[in-house]
Amino acid sequence: MKRLFYATNNLDDAESISDEVHKLGIDDHHFYVLSRDENGIKSHHLHGSSNIDKTDIIAAKKRAKMMASGALAIMIAAVALSTNAFNSQLLWAIFAAICAYVVISFILLITGGSFDGYFKSLINERLDSGEVIIIIDVEKAQSKKVERQLDTHDKAQFLADSSNLASPIPD
């Protein structure tokens, strides 16, 4: 799945965008609104929160950890399949794979964490200025249709896109 981030001026615009996106087949569980106006989110019947820190939507750190774990599993499997199971070479290779995992994990967590912090600060700046952030999860096949629709909407400003791996929209 793909995650799309848009900004708009107010909750009325967000509700209008929600209606358009719902007509394209996106349900409430894949459409999330961030706004400092908690009561407005409820009165507009939007699925959302007033604070991004209450969510786990931006999860570059989680994706990085999953990638490092996958790389470790592949390295250990490759070594195990290419050597004798009781060979000391295998033990050294597994030790080297674990060391590589620790280094890769550390690097990915630092870079993922800095992205999370940077993106959260941008979102918080926009929220503090009164804007509304819209987050939409779409199947890759739907993404172009949704993007085209929102490109024609004069109140929707595209911010970014990413994967939604390991960070579902909160219920």
The pLDDT tens digits of the residues spanning 38-83 come to: 899 989 888 887 766 566 666 656 666 777 777 777 777 776 677 6
Distance CA 63, CA 166 (A): 6
**SS3 annotation, 25-62:** CCCHHHEEEECCCHHHHHHCCCCEECCHHHCCCCCHHH
| Beta strand pairing call for 132-138 and 31-34 | antiparallel
How far apart CA 9 and CA 139 sit, in angstroms, is 26
**Which residue is it, tokens 């087949």?**
25
Residue-averaged pLDDT of the chain:
80
Instruction: Using the predicted structure, report yes or no on whether residue 168 has a pLDDT greater than 70.
Output: no
Cα Rg of the chain, angstroms: 21
Q: Are the beta carbons of 76 and 94 closer than 8 angstroms?
A: yes
